[in-house]
Structure 1
Amino acid sequence: MNLIKPIAIAFLLPGLFQFSQAVPTAMFEESRSILRADTLSWDAPLPFDQEVKTGKLENGFQYFIRKNVEPKDRVTMYLATKVGSILETEEEVGLAHFMEHMNFNGLKHFPKNELVNYLQNAGVRFGSDLNAYTGFDQTVYQLPIPSDDPELLKNGLQVMRDWAQDALLTDEEIDKERGVVLEEMRGGRGAQQRMRDQYLPVMLNNSRYTHRLPIGTKENITDFPYEVLRNFHQKWYRPDLQSLIVVGDIDVAEMEAEVQRLFGDLKSPIDAPERVEYKVPLLDKNQFIVVTDSEMTYTTAQITIKHTEEEVKTVRDFRRSILKSVYGTMLNARLSELAQSANPPFIQARVGIGGFLGGLDAYNASFAAKPNEFENGFKALVRELERVQKHGFTETEFQRAIANIEKGNETIFIERDKKKSDSYVSRYLNYYLDDSPALSDADSYNLYKHLLPTLTLKEVEEIGREYYLDTNRDIIIMAPDKEKENLPAEAQANAWFSEVENEDVLAYEDKISDLPLLAGKPQAGTITSSRELEGIAAKELVLSNGVKVVLKPTTFRNDEILISAFSPGGTSLYDDADYFSAAQSGNLVNSSGLGHLNTFELRRYMTGKNVNISPYIGERSEGLSGYSDREGLTTAFELIYGYFTEPRIEEDVFQSFVTRSLSSMSNQEDDPNFVFSKAINESLYGDNIRRVPMEAEDVKKINKDRALEIYKDRFADASDFVFTLVGSFTEEEIKPYLETYLAALPTLDRQEQAKDLNIYEPEKGFETVVRKGKEEKATAVLRYYGDYTYNKVENLNMSALQSVLSIKLIERLREEESGVYGTGARASTNKYPKNRYSFTVSFGTGVDRYESLMGAALDEIAKVKENGPLASDLEKFKIEQKRQLELSLKENKFWVGQISGAYQREEDPAYINSYLDDLDEISVESVKEVANKYLNEDKLFKFILLPDENKR
């Protein structure tokens, strides 16, 4: 585990509203590109993707249809509406989002909850596949479904048509959904939301956006009249504000005809209101705000400098957008180095130039401060910004950034015919909603290819000078209450800017090493034996040093090779005195350099390479995981060999790790969720250091030298390692790497197994109530623990039990009781060190309802134990499993996990071939039997989080 907890210093606005983002795309053959180098004009408009069929009906409804066979027999449909919370009147606040909910609660052709029921019967997962989101300016509905069933495809299109205009909006369903939306609102309340309520008026310049958060208000959701929602729907759910995007394994002409038939009769109201485009005005002044909260666990600041939006319409605009990206890439590399110094001035920091909201772009710089060191962190961030302003970047930094973009462009090009349909959907969705470019694969590739060589370092530096200004600048500081005394007033922050600006800031020195990665050349070995792994088109090789290698060549991607390796042992082999050093050793080695190169030199060495190899040490095993393309295989195997033979833990990296770890945990006891999780583990495992969260004193026990010693010990003997390689290679291509590097790995021929630490939950269940938090909300976790009969049939029955109970919990707690936003069941089983299981049901709700809802959840469990699941619910599980397996079998990631996991559990990796046969054997009775076997009252543990006593 990585002790340093990720801190949410992502720029505040993008982190608040989850909008889709376009990604650079690849090409087909270059000859098909519309853009040519010899005719490239800076002012030429960016061409639209000609591979997609587009149209606009007489009523204004638009469509985008594209054939794409990745994945085969699947299609993804999105309905995009230019309707969001910004259009709401005062009495409609929250109704754009509420309307999104209602489109799942009764449609013309799918009354009440029949939509979810019908699609689940087709293998579509509610939440994972079938979903929607609402933003300020849009509402988007998504439906990925199989396309090999004509009836299902037809009905999927009918769903989109009903979503467009045929929601039933009955009184009964509206009233049911009020509680669900209120619980969604309640679940989002906490320190972040309370602070957000304070700083948004500053961030959004007190524009209309400030008062139109999509979630709405409790008062309005509770009391709005039915007709207000129906009028909102009638006004805004209309064809001139809607578009259908369909990408997948389909016949385009047939799909277009169906779209024209189904959507051609959509009507707009006679008195349709104008769809106003709202803006966030520039105030031409600076703003400053400090907000604190007793449950905030760290201090962070964001500097946002707002600018008028620059649209990307021409080649020149596109080129300028690349310059902004290069600027951010280089500056963030410097900030990352600073965060990994021996005494880092902040926990982490980042900078970027991008879109904001309401017709604005923004330059954003943010950092997470160390406790009581806000001034130091603030000045350090500003100092790096000033360093670039005064001295710019080095040519070597610039060339590395360009090389990485070039490599990314080439990688996408190579995978051009393996692109997933979802990436095309995002392209056309952003084009329709935001007027973003919708370049073809060929044009995108060629633009990058032709434009990158024209970029200059001077232009990138000028971008920074254009955007890093001292006007229209907001400073937003968020911190725990206890940090108030260490935070500046606006005058003090402005003085810090001036102080740093007047410093004699030195130019950045880019240290580059000419040394090779490895000190010595491996002494190659040989392949001594091989055997076919029947049924999965894979082969097991044994090398001369005892290393096993499983090879599975595939054609799922054009140039992707996934690598995984493990051996038994892990931290279980070390006593408690060494535990903290052992647990962090893999992370510390992974964060350091390797061989001749320190961490920064290694990062530079990896420039332009599509390679990553990372070591780990877990509780019961150690190993490596990563990926490479063919071009990077030598580097990948050098890294593997290096992590066995030349690892290092650098003093600066170690000190940075300790400092940032201590900083990140300094206020964690103020977080209700942390306190709850800690209390659960303590009630189950006492003070066992391997299960309860680490404390500051534990971090101080980590010994750098001992950590490296333990790491070396774990990787001193490769004879019991199993490597799994899956992807786009042939056996003949990969063999030289196996012989040169893997067969050369050191061996001791130790016979090791992970130890059973005998850390298990109590035999008898109990109830633990934790009181922490300011919000009037409760979290309930019902969990069963115990011994288990581990085999593939039992595992399938447990998965089925998880699925059918999740269906029933959603129906009961959400749809019938209107008491939760989300709920479900989750089963977990382990083969080693002992056959064990856990089964969890959890949900969040109001403090006045958790007891009755716990009773309702246990009632649903009792029904399954008494009667078994409904046959229809079990069939949904089977269909979903079959449909998901169809997709998984064509993914490299699935196969590397399947094979490596089977070897770790000492199972036949080909058992997946009997999966569907085993699935057919699962019955109502078998699931009922498993429910009665494992969901016993004496094994039930109840964990409940309630607000502080003084909140009751």
Structure 2
Amino acid sequence: MKQHLLTLGLATILFSQPIFGQQKATPSRNTPAKTVNTGNLIPLDPSVKIGKLPNGLVYYIKKNIEPKNRAELYLATRVGSLMEDEAQQGLAHFTEHMAFNGTKDFPKNEIVNYLQKAGVRFGADLNAYTGFNQTVFQLPIPTDSAAVFKTGFKILANWAGKISMNAADIDAERGIIVEEDRQRGKNAQQRMSNQLLPLLLANSRYAERIPIGKVEILNSFTHDKIRSFYTDWYRPNLQAIIAVGDFEVAEVEKLIIENFSGLTNPKSPKPRVYYTMPDNAQPMVKIVTDAEQPYNVAQVIYRQKSTPVKTTADFRRSLINNMINSMFAARIQELTQKADAPFLFAQGTYGPYQNGLVWGYDAFTIAAVSKDGTGLKKAITAAVAEAERMNKYGFVASELEAAKKNVTAGNEKRFKEKDKTSSASFVQRYLNNFLEGTSMPSIEYSYELTKRDLANISLAEVNAVAKTYITKNNQVVVVQAPEKEKANLPTTNELLNAIQNAGRDVVAYVDNSVNKPLVATVPTAGKIVGEVKNDKIGITTLSLSNGVKVVLKPTDFKNDQIIFTSFAKGGSSLAGNDDFLSADNASLIAQSGVGDFNPTQLNKYLAGNTASAGSYISNDYQGFSGSTAPKDLETAFQLIYAYATNPRKDAEIFNKTITDMRAMLANKDANPSSVYSDTVQAVLSNYHKRAMPTTLSDLDKINLDKAFAFYKDRFADASGQTFVFVGNFDIEKIKPFVTTYLASLPSLNRNENFVDNGVYPPKGKVSKTVYKGIEDKATVQLFFHGDFTYNAENNIQLDALKSALEIKILERLREKESGVYSPGVGLSVQKYPVGHYYFTISFNCAKANVDKLINAALDEVNSFKLNGATAEDIAKFKSEEQRQEELSLRNNSFWLSYLSTRLKYDDDINMILSKKDRLNNVTVASSKKAAQQYLNGENYIRLVLVPEK
């Protein structure tokens, strides 16, 4: 299918902010340092067992049965890169890596090996991250095996104080971390960040201790430097164990005492210093350009000190901040849809500074993207002017009412799901409490406090808080733009003057809500003409009078969730070549709203309503998808009916989208990754005109009338639609909605199918190298592909081959060659329009290592063809599959995907019940046969991106 940037939306633009490696969700810290009303201290969740060992280690334990037979174990350490001395830069992060390279009780990579055998996936489940102030290890683990569960705590204790720091392992890891820096950086974003960080971090300690460190130090530090860092800082009085899951609290407490009491602190511990940033009275401005930067971006940041949410006053302020963010976002969205909008994209949010990486600070950040350098001043001025409108006039009552409704809906949903809340979400609260002191109230307490605050938060109070966002001091202005726009960018003085004068002539906001029903006239209901039950997998299939089929699977996995999707054959494959571009972008019609409601008005109409739904048109199918809570189920059905029968034709929104995409495409080829991605897309489709990347000339061929007509035609005949609903509903109670809103959809009984337009990958061996970029960074993708008989038996053999190959590629390219950070092995299979499979081996590396690493990867492939996978790796695959299935069978999203895929492909709907038998058929011999058949290299595509010669 042709991949269009148009379908991505402007909100996907990534601002070039500093990247410091993996980062978890940040704690709520939306409270200014100075608060007039301090409120009462928020009580800790009484269901959590909190204790402290004599050595100072803190632990949090909570019994939670979602998911069943699972636990989330975390080791948190209040230690990050800020603790490094000059010669240790990067070693906090390096230490995190070494935890997986051998400990006292688990030599070499035995931790990863042991956990994989237990069904724990490295990377996806088992992981860690390092920031300025903290290092956190995560270990999801099964609890139905007493031995594995107990070993989990032993692993945490080894990370906490028993990492081996073997000299050979340290040296072998150097290259991997250098490659991590290459994979995450070596691009325009990193180069501009390097220039911006001293400004954004105010030349503080933060600016001097970026977690990835310095490559020259990583390559040359002596072993004693990292060993002393570990000895000095990995100590129990800076650590916490968090355990949440399906277990007995008393048993876990015993395991913690048993495993962690023996850890000791240094006799003369180094003081743990908490660093701040200096204030700036005058605005600081930095304009940076780069030849590979595709967008013109300006940001105005108003930084202020903050404290964690600890009291009821803090909580109330955080609630108000969240509502202000949502109301301001709605205003920006409304502006963005206008034909004369001065920016391609804009936003304004109040929250933790630098995404929470810098403790103790919040910021109100306004950003705008313009189509060129000439328009950047106007774009950021308009965005700041909207903030000034908020500052001068505040919000109106209807906006606050909508915001309160949305908060109420979320609050009710959390409360209804309190006994179905995942263990992982609890962990984050306790982690934030340990690291920064953020409150961790019970769900019940938060629910009642939110209800109470919403009832008496006034518009005047909200508007008073909004006035505090724009501050006189601690202002930072940054511009990031393409090098070719350098001469067109505003100067520092022009930027400051524009920002200072923005909003002088603004008037009060006028709400343009639409006061009409979503569906003006309730349609005449159709009938259910057939009903078939399948008790084996718990589904009921309804046949409707208009030819629609509805598959219903009631579940108790979530208390307040219903999700759904539908499909019918056809899609844009039915469009002729001359009209294909308009047809392929017909989904833009749905992005214009529905009926009398544009997107902003629809959001306001749905305020407080959990229902969401939309339509889609892909290459082969068209249909609907969405979700809702049971209380709003009828609204979800109304949305389906409205999108099918009353689409909105909005020339202003449609043309604005095309204009915006024209501006984005104009600079797209500056980015090496974009050029490479386009090449991959073109080669894999064998340069078929229906699958080529979108060009500027393509945009000229997209016609609103044709797109709208195609959209209407795709949904004029519902007789081929199959709907799947999964979640907490009663079949008899959902039937009236089915007959009213689905059985009444128009039906022409066209009995359509999609068209095979001949978009296939090239046969034989293909090699193409793209020369683009200025950094020493190469990207490699190796494709093995071919025709394929799609069935459950073949699929699981491919899955096993992919899993085992992924293990060996990681071991060879990362661990043995030290040449990559995170290589990947991908697998994609399709049944229609023709059966085909794709294996992909991908990685980033230094240009000089491309051929060596490709040869190493192919060597592993050849080994599979000669010997098959190892028995140990097949055992790991089976264990992971079984463990994932245990989770999947209690997951609504899994069932929605499973049922819709089986129905699309006319598969046996009960095949999930025989998966264990198919797993038993995976052997060393079968993996060898699969490798010989599917990795034979007859159809092999080698695509490489290297810097320009």
TM-score greater than 0.5 by the shorter chain: yes
Partner amino acid for 1:285? Q
1:505 aligns with 2:509: no
Partner amino acid for 1:868? G
Q: Which moved more, 1:440-449 or 1:518-527?
A: 518-527
The equivalent residue for 2:629 is 629
Distance of 1:604 and 1:538 partners within structure 2: 35
1:428 aligns with 2:447: no
The equivalent residue for 1:34 is none
Deviation at 1:15, TM superposition (A): 8.6
Distance of 2:592 and 2:797 partners within structure 1: 44
Within-5 A mapping of 1:359-438: 359-371=360-372, 372-438=374-440
Partner amino acid for 1:221? L
Secondary structure of the corresponding residue to residue 854 of structure 2: helix
Q: 2:447 aligns with which of 445, 448, 454?
A: 445
The equivalent residue for 1:320 is 317
The equivalent residue for 1:143 is 139
1:83 aligns with 2:97: no
Whether the 8 Å contact between 1:519 and 1:595 is mirrored in structure 2 is: no
Deviation at 1:825, TM superposition (A): 1.4
Whether the 8 Å contact between 1:534 and 1:910 is mirrored in structure 2 is: no
Deviation at 1:14, TM superposition (A): 8.6
Deviation at 1:880, TM superposition (A): 0.2
Secondary structure of the corresponding residue to residue 110 of structure 1: coil
Partner amino acid for 1:647? P
Deviation at 1:284, TM superposition (A): 2.3
* Distance change >3 Å, CA 824–CA 500, structure 1 → 2: closer
The equivalent residue for 1:570 is 571
Within-5 A mapping of 1:274-285: 274-285=271-282
Q: 1:261 aligns with which of 258, 261, 275?
A: 258
Distance of 1:779 and 1:322 partners within structure 2: 44
Distance of 2:22 and 2:794 partners within structure 1: 42
The equivalent residue for 1:473 is 475
* Distance change >3 Å, CA 177–CA 765, structure 1 → 2: same
Deviation at 1:13, TM superposition (A): 6.1
The equivalent residue for 2:25 is 20
Partner amino acid for 2:575? Y
Deviation at 1:843, TM superposition (A): 0.8
The equivalent residue for 1:29 is none
1:239 aligns with 2:236: yes
The equivalent residue for 2:654 is 654
Under a length normalisation based on structure 2, what TM-score does the superposition of the two structures give? 0.96
The equivalent residue for 1:352 is 349
Q: 1:106 aligns with which of 97, 102, 105?
A: 102
| Deviation readout 1:609-668 (Å, 9 max, x if unpaired) | 001101000000000000011111111111111111111121121122112211222211
Deviation at 1:11, TM superposition (A): 9.0
Deviation at 1:135, TM superposition (A): 0.1
1:124 aligns with 2:125: no
Deviation at 1:376, TM superposition (A): 1.9
Distance of 2:470 and 2:18 partners within structure 1: 18
The equivalent residue for 2:520 is 519
Whether the 8 Å contact between 1:778 and 1:846 is mirrored in structure 2 is: yes
The equivalent residue for 1:900 is 900
Whether the 8 Å contact between 1:518 and 1:596 is mirrored in structure 2 is: no
Distance of 2:334 and 2:20 partners within structure 1: 24
Distance of 1:878 and 1:790 partners within structure 2: 21
Distance of 1:305 and 1:352 partners within structure 2: 11
Secondary structure of the corresponding residue to residue 63 of structure 1: strand
1:760 aligns with 2:760: yes
* Distance change >3 Å, CA 806–CA 944, structure 1 → 2: same
Q: Which moved more, 1:15-24 or 1:415-424?
A: 15-24
Secondary structure of the corresponding residue to residue 443 of structure 1: helix
Secondary structure of the corresponding residue to residue 384 of structure 1: helix
Deviation at 1:763, TM superposition (A): 1.4
Partner amino acid for 1:436? T
The equivalent residue for 1:38 is none
Deviation at 1:312, TM superposition (A): 2.0
The equivalent residue for 1:37 is none
Secondary structure of the corresponding residue to residue 378 of structure 1: helix
Distance of 1:9 and 1:790 partners within structure 2: 38
Deviation at 1:17, TM superposition (A): 6.7
Whether the 8 Å contact between 2:686 and 2:762 is mirrored in structure 1 is: no
Distance of 2:325 and 2:594 partners within structure 1: 27
Secondary structure of the corresponding residue to residue 467 of structure 1: coil
Distance of 2:237 and 2:298 partners within structure 1: 42
Deviation at 1:418, TM superposition (A): 0.2
Secondary structure of the corresponding residue to residue 744 of structure 1: coil
Q: 1:159 aligns with which of 155, 160, 163?
A: 155
Secondary structure of the corresponding residue to residue 288 of structure 1: strand
Whether the 8 Å contact between 2:199 and 2:284 is mirrored in structure 1 is: yes
Deviation at 1:16, TM superposition (A): 7.3
Distance of 1:246 and 1:391 partners within structure 2: 48
Partner amino acid for 2:26? Q
Unpaired runs of at least 5, structure 1: 25-40
Within-5 A mapping of 1:517-666: 517-586=518-587, 588-666=588-666
Secondary structure of the corresponding residue to residue 54 of structure 2: coil
Whether the 8 Å contact between 2:297 and 2:370 is mirrored in structure 1 is: yes
Secondary structure of the corresponding residue to residue 540 of structure 1: strand
Distance of 1:884 and 1:365 partners within structure 2: 42
Distance of 2:866 and 2:443 partners within structure 1: 56
Whether the 8 Å contact between 1:805 and 1:824 is mirrored in structure 2 is: no
Distance of 2:22 and 2:475 partners within structure 1: 21
Task: Give the count of matched residue pairs.
Answer: 931
Whether the 8 Å contact between 2:590 and 2:614 is mirrored in structure 1 is: yes
* Distance change >3 Å, CA 841–CA 235, structure 1 → 2: same
Deviation at 1:395, TM superposition (A): 0.7
Whether the 8 Å contact between 1:680 and 1:768 is mirrored in structure 2 is: no
The equivalent residue for 2:495 is 493
Distance of 1:559 and 1:10 partners within structure 2: 35
Whether the 8 Å contact between 1:807 and 1:824 is mirrored in structure 2 is: no
Secondary structure of the corresponding residue to residue 825 of structure 2: strand
1:73 aligns with 2:69: yes
Unpaired runs of at least 5, structure 2: 30-36
Whether the 8 Å contact between 1:343 and 1:655 is mirrored in structure 2 is: no
Distance of 1:302 and 1:939 partners within structure 2: 48
The equivalent residue for 2:466 is 464
Distance of 1:23 and 1:790 partners within structure 2: 48
Distance of 1:17 and 1:506 partners within structure 2: 43
Q: 2:46 aligns with which of 47, 50, 55?
A: 50
Q: CA RMSD in A?
A: 1.5
Q: 2:57 aligns with which of 58, 61, 66?
A: 61
Q: Percent identity, aligned pairs only?
A: 42
Within-5 A mapping of 1:866-905: 866-905=866-905
Distance of 2:696 and 2:20 partners within structure 1: 29
Whether the 8 Å contact between 1:612 and 1:626 is mirrored in structure 2 is: yes
